[in-house]
Structure 1
Amino acid sequence: MRTLRFAGHYLEMVVAMFVGMFALAPLWSMALPGLHDHPDAAALVMATNMSIGMAAWMRIRKHSWLHIGEMCAWMSAPFVLLLIPYWMNLISGDALMTAGHILMFPAMLVPMLRHRH
C-alpha cells in the first residue's frame, strides 16, 4: 500500500511538471523568440518551467519550501551538469535535452526517497 501511494505521488509530480512545461512554454516563445536556437538556455528554461509546475503542486500538497527547493535542485541538476560537456562540444543540443529529461526522473527520486515519511 505504501509503495502504491509513493508511486501515485511520483506520478502526480510528473504530471505537474508536464503541466508547467506546456503551460509556460508559450510565454517564453513570445518573450524570447530565438530561445530554441540556444539549447543550453532552452534546457534551463524548460527545467525551470517543469520546476514551477511541480513546486506549485507541492505547495498545494502542503510541502515545506525547503523540500520544494530541494526537489527543484535535484530536478535541475542533470541539465546543469550536462551543460559542461555541451559547452565543450562533447554532446549536441539534442543529447543535452534528451539526457537531461531521462536523468531528471531518477534524480527527483532522491529527495522523494529521503522524505518518504
Structure 2
Amino acid sequence: MRIAEKIVVKGPVRNFVQHLLEMTIAMFVGMFVLGMPADLLFEALGWTPVTGDLVPSTLLMATYMSIGMAAWMRLRGCGWPATREMALAMYVPFLLMYPLYAAGWASEGAVMTFGHVLMTPAMIVAMLLRVNEYTATHRSPVRRATPEPVA
C-alpha cells in the first residue's frame, strides 16, 4: 500500500474540506471573471472612486466573490440560507477592519490582507452553522438541520 493511499481522508471531513475548497475556487473565479471587466468599465466611465477608494472597492470585491460562490453553491445543491450565510462571510472581515482603518490604526494594505485572510475562518464558521449540509456528499441528498420554506 502506498503512503498516499494511507492518508486519504474519506467521509464527512473530506466532504467538508471539499466544500470549502470548491467555494474558495468559485470565489476567485467570481473575483476575476466579474471584477476585472467591472473595474475596466468603471474606469472607462470615470468612476475612479469606485475602483480607487478602499471601502467601495473591497465591497465590490466581496460582491464579485459572493456571486461566484453563490452560483457554484446553488449549482451543487446548497440551500439559500447556507448561500446567504456564506456570502455574508465575504463581507464581515472587511466590515470588521473598516473601523480600524477609519481610526488610522490599519493601513489600506492591512485591511486588504486581513480582510482576505479572515474570510477563510468566516467561511468555516458559516459552514459549522450547517455542518450537516457541508459534510454531506454532493451525490447524497442534503441533510439540512431546518427545512427551507416552500414558496
Both structures adopt the same fold (TM-score exceeding 0.5): yes
Q: Which runs of 5+ in 1 are unaligned?
A: none
Who wins on radius of gyration, i.e. which is larger? Answer: 2
Residue 83 of structure 2 is aligned to residue 68 of structure 1: yes
Residue 129 of structure 2 is aligned to residue 114 of structure 1: yes
* Partner of residue 17 from structure 1, selected from 27, 33, 37: 27
Partner of 2:101: 86
Q: Which runs of 5+ in 2 are unaligned?
A: 1-9, 133-151
Residue 118 of structure 2 is aligned to residue 103 of structure 1: yes
TM-score where L is the length of structure 1: 0.92
Identity %: 43
Letter in 1 for 2:37: L
Match of 1:63, SS state, is coil
TM-score where L is the length of structure 2: 0.73
CA RMSD of aligned residues (A): 1.3
Task: Tell me the matched-pair count.
Answer: 117
Letter in 1 for 2:102: W
Shift of 1:74: 2.0
Distance, in Å, in 2 between the alignment partners of 1:53 and 1:36 is: 19
How does 1:1-16 map onto structure 2 within 5 Å?
Answer: 1=10, 2-16=12-26
Match of 1:90, SS state, is coil
Letter in 2 for 1:10: L
Q: More helix per residue: 1 or 2?
A: 1
Shift of 1:54: 0.5
Letter in 1 for 2:41: A
Shift of 1:43: 0.9
Give CA deviations for 1:29-56 in whole Å, capped at 9, x if unaligned. 1232224421121111111111111000
